[in-house]
Each structure stands twice: as structure tokens, then as C-alpha cells.
Amino acid sequence: MKNLNVLAPILLSSMLAAAADSQTASPQQSPTTPTGGSKTVKLCDNKTTVQVPNDAPKTRAEGQKISDALMAQWKEANPKSNWEQAEIEAHQVVSPADNTKLIGTGQSATYGTVTPQDVQVWKNETYKMAVYGSTVFHSGDELGSEIAVSCDMCHPRAANTHPESYPKFQPQLGRVALLRDMINWCIEHPVRGKVLAPDDPKMRALEAYIIAQRKGIPLDYGKR
């Protein structure tokens, strides 16, 4: 007990001194995010680039300006490419295959006889996924873009994506890529968003939409 009586005044004195020091010390500054400088944004070809100020507004109009600048450079370097002019800007999603001819037929003991309801469910669910993919494809926010760029700004109606040619060797990746690998590369670079997991609903929907827009094109994997 004697020791405690001696220590108590010393501890109290130390605490008061520490409190006084904290009041007189200069306040610590919070780190601030730099607003100056710029970032390099790449087109899907991994060659065409533009510099975007870090403080550029995150709006669709600004994203379109970035995309237009990239595409203007690309068109100048590729004057004979006119695929974009052949595309319609509207968000039209191609309908899935018509399976009505299967009504009344059997698809093994597992599935039994196909009914009109079966065919309607198949169509509705498949089309719904492709439509959701169109929503993501046309939205910088859905894609998580930090510069408001969306896929349609360079690929209206999924033009020039060639899903029928995958898998194929992609020089940007230095390996054989699936369609989803190239989607992620584009999300990471021109779009400036975060890559999606293979089973992410947005990735599945993007693949569905891009493939839907090339309906009727023969598969030709490996084609460049």
C-alpha cells in the first residue's frame, strides 16, 4: 500500500504532462488525394493511348470524349476499317433461337416431353441474361469505370468483338485467351474498372450479350 501511495502522484503528474503536450503539439495533417497529373488510358489494341487528367469529371459525356479520342487515333491508323459505320447505335439485343419445333418431342428420360412452357422459359431466361449484359455493356457505372467509359463507346452493339474467334492467342495477354479474358483486359484498360471473376453475374451477362450480337456467324476459333 505504501508503494501505491508513492506512485499515485507520479502517475497523475505524468498524465497531466502528456495531456498538456498533446494540446500544444501541431495537429497532424490528413493525407489528401492528389488532383493534378494524368493517367494513361489504352484502347483494346494495346497501342492507342490518351492521357486523361486525374481530376476529369466522371460523367458519360467525358467518357465519350475519351473514347472518341481513342477511336479517332485508331481510325487514322486504320483508314480502311469501316465496321463502325455498319453498326446501329441503338441498344438492340438479338433474340435467342426459336425452339418451338421441339414442343411435343422427348429429350431423353431426364427431361421428358418438351412443353410450350418449357420453350417460353428457355427463351425468357436466355434473353433476360443477354439484355442484362447489354445494360452492363452500355454503362460505365455498371462496369466500375473510374473515367465513365463503357464498352459500347468503342464497340457499338458489340461490333468488332468477334466472340466466334475465341479461344485465340492474344498478343496483349501473351497467351491463348477466352472471350472473358479479353473482356477483363478491356475492363482493366480502356474502361479503367476492376476485373470480374469468371462466375460474376456481370461477366456471364457480358459474354451472353456479346455472343448474342454475333448470332449466325460461324465459329472459327483461333482466327485473327
For residue 17 the three cell numbers come to 504532462
Look at residue 166 in the predicted model and tell me its pLDDT.
Answer: 97
Asked whether residue 172 is domain-assigned, the answer is: yes
How far is 108 from 130, CA to CA, in rounded Å? 28
Residue 206 lies in a domain: yes
- Report how far residue 213's alpha carbon sits from residue 59's, in angstroms, rounded to the nearest whole number: 27
- What total number of domains does the chain contain? 1
Q: Decide if 105 is inside a domain.
A: yes
Q: Give the pLDDT confidence score for residue 87 in this predicted structure.
A: 43
Amino acid making up residue 130: A
223 inside domain: no
Q: Which amino acid is at 8?
A: A
Three state DSSP letters for 6-53 = HHHHHHHHHHHHHHHHHHHCCCCCCCCCCCCCEEEEECCCCCCEEEEE
Q: Say what the pLDDT of residue 65 is.
A: 84
With respect to residue 30, please indicate whether it lies within any of the assigned structural domains. Answer: no
Q: Is residue 1 part of a domain?
A: no
Parent domain of 189 = 38-87+98-212
Q: Which pLDDT does position 140 carry in this prediction?
A: 95
For 133-164, what is each residue's pLDDT tens digit? 999 999 999 999 999 999 999 998 899 999 99
Per the CB < 8 A criterion, the answer to whether 158 and 214 are in contact is: yes
Q: How far apart are CA 65 and CA 188, in angstroms?
A: 18
Sort 86 into a burial class: Cβ within 10 Å, 0-12 / 13-18 / 19+. Answer: exposed
Domain membership flag for residue 42: yes
pLDDT beneath 70, residues of the chain: 1-35, 80-91, 108-110
pLDDT for the residue numbered 86: 44
Residue among 152, 117, 119 at smallest CA distance from 138: 152
Q: What is the CATH number of the domain that holds 136?
A: 1.10.760.10
Residues whose CB falls within 8 Å of the CB of residue 170, separated by 6 or more in sequence, listed in order = 176, 177, 181, 182, 185
- Asked whether residue 31 is domain-assigned, the answer is no
